[in-house]
Structure 1
Amino acid sequence: MPTFPDGFLWGAATAGHQIEGNNIRSDIWAMEHVTAAPFAEPSGDACDSYHRYEEDIQLLADSGLNTYRFSIEWSRIEPEVGQFSRAELEHYRRMIRACHARAITPVVTLNHFTTPSWFARDGAWGQEHAAALFERYVRYTVDALRDDVQWWITFNEPNAGALLLATGSLPLGAAADDLAEAQRGLMADFAARVGGTAGVASMAIPVLAPNAVENVFTAHRLARAAIKQIAPQSKVGWSIAVHDFQALPGGEARRDAILAQAIHPYWAAAREDDFVGVQTYTREVYGPEGRIVPEETSDTFLTGWEYYPPALGHTVAAAAAYTGVPVLVTENGMATADDDARIRYTRGAVEGLAEAREAGAEVLGYIHWTLIDNWEWHSGFAMTFGLIALDRETFARTPKPSLAWLGRVAASRGAVLNDELEPALS
């Protein structure tokens, strides 16, 4: 018997900057090209999906999946402050219609980390009018695309900075008050590249300063209200990154403090939304002395994360209980060169998701990260999360067995999970 209902969203996700290529007016592009940039390599052409999106969508549709989550790049829509590009808007309209032509539901993210370089120049989310500027972009975009999009995500992982602070890990250039001299130079070079002033210009991620965090919350509320006004039938939410935080005896206080700082405020804000996005890959376990670093195994992610498929079911159940709104899994997957491991991991995650549903959580869909091996921020192209392999010289796409496997799960609404003892397709 099928495990999941009709209308369940089965898909894969991407992000504009990570796959489109040459997103030259964004803050991340600017940072990629300064001296001592904190990236393994620049994004460059990425996957050239700006030109090859129809092929990507066709591969997704051919597999049996029914949903494509992708982002619109604000820096393309509004390349200079107050200057909007109708041509770029039409590009994204063509993408959306390419989805509909193949019976694919588009789930559109309005901000997946990157922002226009002019926004970064003026202080990113710390500037006084940040929320209003985001709302203006959202209104322009949604008004044009409202007839073709039902599902909108305002922000991808707006709590990323809070997670870094709560868990004690900050990337290069993140905390201006504590920068070493080399890091100060990095931020000065970035400011110069975007035409701003050192100490004012800032990348949009991670969001750390309290006023910037509040501006993001305000931007989400304003965007949600704008979308519901323009397209009342739309479903609106935001996607929150959450590990499966667990505690051994003596570690409960640390675990609970992380949840209180980095997860619960964002879930609380989602109570007024139509759904909450959950993005889970692994767990973190805390004991009396702090985080317990897991032993490395052959299945450890390329990112160093622990292989722990049940994490997804646990976080989905927690999000549903805390927010009281339906949950959409907007990211889940595994960075690995072993596609059999990816299938095993995904099977375990989806089985955990089914258990969460059976226990009462309302779950709207499962969207895998990611459709195609791409540029993974600080790691460059080294972290292969994709269901499709990419030849970076020719841009040839080669579907991995995991894509067909997940498509079979989708087409059967999970029924094949009951029949298959082994995940391989042979």
Structure 2
Amino acid sequence: MSHALQDWHANPGGLPTMRWAREVHEDRFFAETAEDDFVGVQTYTRLDVNAPRIVGHLSAAVLRSRRLTQALVLPHLRRQAVAAVPTGEAPADGVRRTLMGYRWAPEAVGETIQRVANLFPGKEIVITEHGVATNQDTERIDYIREGLRAVHRLIGDGLPITGYVHWSMLDNWEWWDGYGPTYGLVAVDRTNQTRTIKPSARWYGDVARANRMPT
């Protein structure tokens, strides 16, 4: 099983909600894969869960109640998710985002790998997905480069990372967003299925053939 993990961050007020959300969406699956031959990791972004300090105590109390969690916390998280969807306008928060509305954070994969390595000392780790939805191919190269640098540093630290798989080869169908967000190293014209190799594909191929970190 490949784990879809985020690089979670929170201030003291948001810590209870962050821990709850991370447990619901990520941690409960680790027990099911503890005996697997390797851990698959896929990461695209960083998530921030921040709130005034006093809210931390209230959140901790609310999250102990399933009914209150469903009534108060889940709608709030859904509103945050909807607000992150790009509208074609500049983001109000000034944060650089991808076509998926994700925070631009190619280095986040390094943080999730480190967390998995701490949870499963010595177990083989494979990055099964890492990429970016963008219609600017130079951004794709920048994103892959920064992600690979983060991975390379961890390999240098001795972590048993044995593979990196870019997402994706072709511009693909996203479940909620259709063909809008383009992830591929190869473009696809949906009117006639013509494939066009992007410069990022050739750049990535050069890196793979050289088997060394790009400058």
Matches within 5 A, 1:151-190: none
Contact 1:296 1:306 in 2 (8 A): no
Matched, 1:311 2:74: no
Corresponding position of 1:392: 190
Counterpart among 25, 30, 50 of residue 287 in structure 1 = 50
SS of the residue aligned with 2:147? helix
SS of the residue aligned with 1:350? helix
2:134 partner amino acid: T
Cα displacement (A) at 1:323: 2.5
Structure 2 Cα separation of the partners of residues 267 and 378 of structure 1? 26
Residue identity over aligned pairs, in percent, reads 36
Cα deviation per residue 1:6-64 (whole Å; 9 max; x = unaligned)? xxxxxxxxxxxxxxxxxxxxxxxxxxxxxxxxxxxxxxxxxxxxxxxxxxxxxxxxxxx
Matches within 5 A, 1:79-98: none
Corresponding position of 2:202: 404
Contact 1:252 1:286 in 2 (8 A): yes
2:110 partner amino acid: G
Cα displacement (A) at 1:345: 0.9
Contact 1:268 1:323 in 2 (8 A): no
Corresponding position of 1:259: 22
Cα deviation per residue 1:53-106 (whole Å; 9 max; x = unaligned)? xxxxxxxxxxxxxxxxxxxxxxxxxxxxxxxxxxxxxxxxxxxxxxxxxxxxxx
Corresponding position of 2:147: 349
Structure 2 Cα separation of the partners of residues 318 and 270 of structure 1? 15
SS of the residue aligned with 1:385? coil
Structure 2 Cα separation of the partners of residues 261 and 368 of structure 1? 26
Structure 2 Cα separation of the partners of residues 339 and 357 of structure 1? 27
Residues 393/278 of structure 1: CA separation in 2 closer, same or farther (3 Å cut): same
The gaps in structure 1 that reach 5 residues or longer are 1-237, 421-426
Cα displacement (A) at 1:257: 1.8
1:347 partner amino acid: R
Matched, 1:332 2:95: no
Structure 1 Cα separation of the partners of residues 133 and 23 of structure 2? 28
How many pairs align? Answer: 179
Structure 1 Cα separation of the partners of residues 11 and 193 of structure 2? 46
1:405 partner amino acid: W
Structure 2 Cα separation of the partners of residues 249 and 409 of structure 1? 41
Structure 2 Cα separation of the partners of residues 318 and 282 of structure 1? 15
Structure 2 Cα separation of the partners of residues 366 and 296 of structure 1? 31
Corresponding position of 1:271: 34
Structure 2 Cα separation of the partners of residues 395 and 363 of structure 1? 35
Corresponding position of 1:202: none
Contact 1:387 1:402 in 2 (8 A): yes
1:371 partner amino acid: M
Cα displacement (A) at 1:276: 1.1
Structure 2 Cα separation of the partners of residues 364 and 279 of structure 1? 14
- TM score, norm. by length of structure 1: 0.40
Cα displacement (A) at 1:296: 4.6
2:166 partner amino acid: H
Matches within 5 A, 1:40-119: none
Corresponding position of 1:381: 179
2:124 partner amino acid: P
Structure 2 Cα separation of the partners of residues 391 and 261 of structure 1? 38
SS of the residue aligned with 1:407? helix
1:271 partner amino acid: A
Corresponding position of 1:371: 169
Residues 261/377 of structure 1: CA separation in 2 closer, same or farther (3 Å cut): closer
SS of the residue aligned with 2:111? helix
Contact 1:374 1:381 in 2 (8 A): yes
SS of the residue aligned with 1:379? coil
Residues 315/411 of structure 1: CA separation in 2 closer, same or farther (3 Å cut): same
Corresponding position of 1:203: none
Structure 2 Cα separation of the partners of residues 385 and 370 of structure 1? 6
Structure 2 Cα separation of the partners of residues 296 and 239 of structure 1? 32
Cα displacement (A) at 1:253: 2.0
Structure 2 Cα separation of the partners of residues 356 and 285 of structure 1? 23
Structure 2 Cα separation of the partners of residues 319 and 327 of structure 1? 8
Structure 1 Cα separation of the partners of residues 13 and 159 of structure 2? 29
Structure 2 Cα separation of the partners of residues 296 and 280 of structure 1? 22
Cα deviation per residue 1:282-315 (whole Å; 9 max; x = unaligned)? 0101112587878355x52111111011100100
Matches within 5 A, 1:114-125: none
The gaps in structure 2 that reach 5 residues or longer are 53-75, 85-90
